[in-house]
Structure 1
Amino acid sequence: MSLTLTDQDKLTLRTAAYGAVSLLAAAGAAGGSPHRIATDGSVALASATGPIGHVLADKTKGVNLNGKSVAELADQVLPALTEAMGLLRKQAPAEADNFRSTVILAVEAAIQRGEPSPTLADMTHKITGALDAA
């Protein structure tokens, strides 16, 4: 089964993946280094392979992750994660698995330094829940 994504679909995938990393950085800002979280998570996303890797590597403009609070950012990102998984599951289940594992890898990379704070652990749970809701 081939994967055919519209520009909007690709934007949703990028918003979901990079948004998950942004959510962790925003949630971890109080107790850690948001820059380190964002860097480690983004490096993991940049190492994705297959069609998902090509979509995430595309630097087209359009991803807008400018919430004024963690709540505003979550309102944008969590539904995008669920939507991305739904559209991938319909078209190419293997790519849905690839996307999910890529986002989970980015989350793990972002919080790899020691035991995650309760805030980061909770955000990780929310991200995983959104991925699995589709």
Structure 2
Amino acid sequence: MSSTLTLTDQDKHTLRAGAYGAVSLLAAAGAAGSPHRIATDGSIALASATGPIGHVLAGRSKIKDLNRKSVAELADLVLPALTASVRLLKKQDPAEADNYRDTVLVALEAAARADRGEPGPALAEMLRKITEALDAR
């Protein structure tokens, strides 16, 4: 892990919950297509991450609270986790904040392509909300 990042177990959990939760949100929003394929492709992309962020995302600890009853409840957890993750990383290492953001967006792109067609309106809107959370200041 990079010597410039000092992350607590809670910080690592937040980073993983944001990234894997974003893929879960996309799978839930794309339920008319293939949610399992979306989740699989997005998770594979996250597991392929490198550098300090790759090490954090490869962590084997259980990500709590991703099994929510509704997309709204999941979004209430995930979108703030994405924003908190980027803010935390920007304070310690702006390059790793960019790496995290890019990693999540690549995973979402891989997930969105799982349908092999244009993302539907619900999927496109969820992508917009996730990107907005990643870019919040």
Question: TM-score band (shorter)?
Answer: over 0.9
Say yes or no: does 1:114 pair with 2:117.
Answer: yes
Q: CA deviation at 1:66?
A: 1.2
Q: Does the CA contact (< 8 Å) of 2:23 and 2:39 recur in 1? A: yes
Q: Match for 2:22 among 20, 23, 27? A: 20
Shift of 1:76: 0.3
Measured after TM superposition, the shift of residue 67 of structure 1 is: 1.0
Question: Aligned partners of 2:27 and 2:19: how far apart in 1?
Answer: 13
Counterpart of 1:10 (choices 2, 9, 12) is 12
Q: Are residue 59 (structure 1) and residue 60 (structure 2) matched?
A: yes
- The answer (yes or no) to whether the contact 2:16–2:63 under 8 Å persists in 1 is no
**Given residue 9 of structure 1, which amino acid in structure 2 is its aligned partner?**
D
| 1:46 and 1:56 in contact (8 A); partners too | yes
What is the percent sequence identity of the aligned residues?
74
More deviation, 55-64/73-82: 55-64
Q: Distance in 2 between matches of 1:61 and 1:74?
A: 19
Secondary structure, counterpart of 1:65 in structure 2: coil
What TM-score results when the alignment is normalised by the length of structure 1? Answer: 0.97
Gapped runs of 5+ residues in structure 1?
A: none
Equivalenced residues, count: 133
CA 1:62–1:20: 2 relative to 1, 3 Å: closer
Shift of 1:61: 2.1
Conservation of the 8 A alpha-carbon contact between 1:82 and 1:131? yes
Provide, for residues 14-40 of structure 1, a one-character-per-residue CA deviation record: whole Å limited to 9, x for no partner: 0000000000011111x1010000000
Give the corresponding residue for 2:127: 124
- The one-letter amino acid of 1:75's match is D
Q: What's the TM-score once normalised by structure 2's chain length?
A: 0.95
Q: Secondary structure at the match of 1:111?
A: helix
Matched to 1:25, the amino acid is A
Match of 1:78 in 2: 79
Counterpart residue number, 1:100: 101
Deviation at 1:51, TM superposition (A): 0.4
Q: Report the RMSD for the aligned CA atoms in angstroms.
A: 0.9
The answer to whether residue 86 in structure 2 is matched with residue 69 in structure 1 is no
In the alignment, residue 125 of structure 1 is paired with which amino acid?
R
